Amino acid sequence: MSLTRRQKEILDFIRAFVAEHGYSPTLDEIARSFHLASLNGVHKHLVALEERGFLRRRLNHARSLQVLDPEHASAGTLPLLGYVAAGEPIEVIADPEEITVPSSMIGKHKNYVLKVRGSSMIDEHIQDGDYVIVEERPEVRNGELVIALVDGESVTLKKFYRETGQIRLQPANPDLQPIFLKEEQVRIQGVVVGVMRRYY
């Protein structure tokens, strides 16, 4: 997919910045470099680059932009299965839509997309209305973002920690408390491998 002149300039800037510093620039640094008064303008360019597969936003990183090789700049479609709460657990609602995602975000196992409701994961840069790409896989490591089925009834998006005699589902919002459950109360439905955002 072709890029506009400004999108290519921003992509080249990010690539050069990473090569020089070893980490990606912040939105402020990009805005200053291109004399953009609004961070929203930067956001729009980054979303366009991400949707075209030239960038990926890495989870658990403050400077989260990762430049992808051109051969990975392709897209596929995944089913949008409904909503997941980033707050109190709610049910996932079946939804027949499909959503286009960069192929670089698609994992080796079965993948699907959920739309986020709530603000419990804002410190992981996941906001209300974002889309999370979920990979179904058997192994889950402490600290990973998961889609957890609680008591066989409701689904929530949290960080997963297996502790002595219990499971801790940890929000990423200092105003919210973790959820402590017995292991038999929790079934992991998938691990979050990517986040996408639309700007209107």
- Residue 119 vs residues 4, 116, 172, 199: alpha-carbon distances, Å: 33, 9, 9, 17
Clarify whether 154 is annotated catalytic. no
Within this chain, do residues 130 and 183 fall inside the same structural domain, yes or no? yes
Report which of 17, 133, 3, 142 is spatially closest to residue 70, judged by C-alpha positions. Answer: 3
Distance from C-alpha of 165 to C-alpha of 12, rounded to nearest angstrom: 49
Catalytic residue among 120, 154, 159, 182: 120
Of 72, 103, 123, the one marking the end of a domain is 72
Within this chain, do residues 67 and 34 fall inside the same structural domain, yes or no? yes
pLDDT digits (tens, 9 = 90+) for 50-101: 888 788 776 555 677 888 765 444 567 788 888 888 776 666 666 557 777 7
Whether the pLDDT of residue 22 is over 90: the answer is no
Domain count, the chain: 2
Cα 144 off chain centre by: 12
Catalytic residue among 24, 104, 115, 158: 158
Clarify whether 44 is annotated catalytic. no
Within this chain, do residues 102 and 185 fall inside the same structural domain, yes or no? yes
Of 51, 72, 93, the one marking the end of a domain is 72
Within this chain, do residues 184 and 86 fall inside the same structural domain, yes or no? yes
CB 20 within 8 A of CB 8: no
Quote the mean pLDDT of the chain.
83
Task: Supply the DSSP symbol for 108.
Answer: S
The answer to whether the Cα torsion of 176, 139, 59, 109 is positive or negative is negative
Within this chain, do residues 115 and 182 fall inside the same structural domain, yes or no? yes
Q: In the prediction, which pLDDT does 96 show?
A: 58
Predicted TM-score (pTM) of this structure: 0.61
Q: Which residue has the tokens 């999370």?
A: 132
Within this chain, do residues 185 and 97 fall inside the same structural domain, yes or no? yes
Within this chain, do residues 43 and 118 fall inside the same structural domain, yes or no? no
Domain that holds residue 99: 75-196
Q: Which residues make Cβ contacts (< 8 Å) with residue 44, sequence separation at least 6?
A: 199
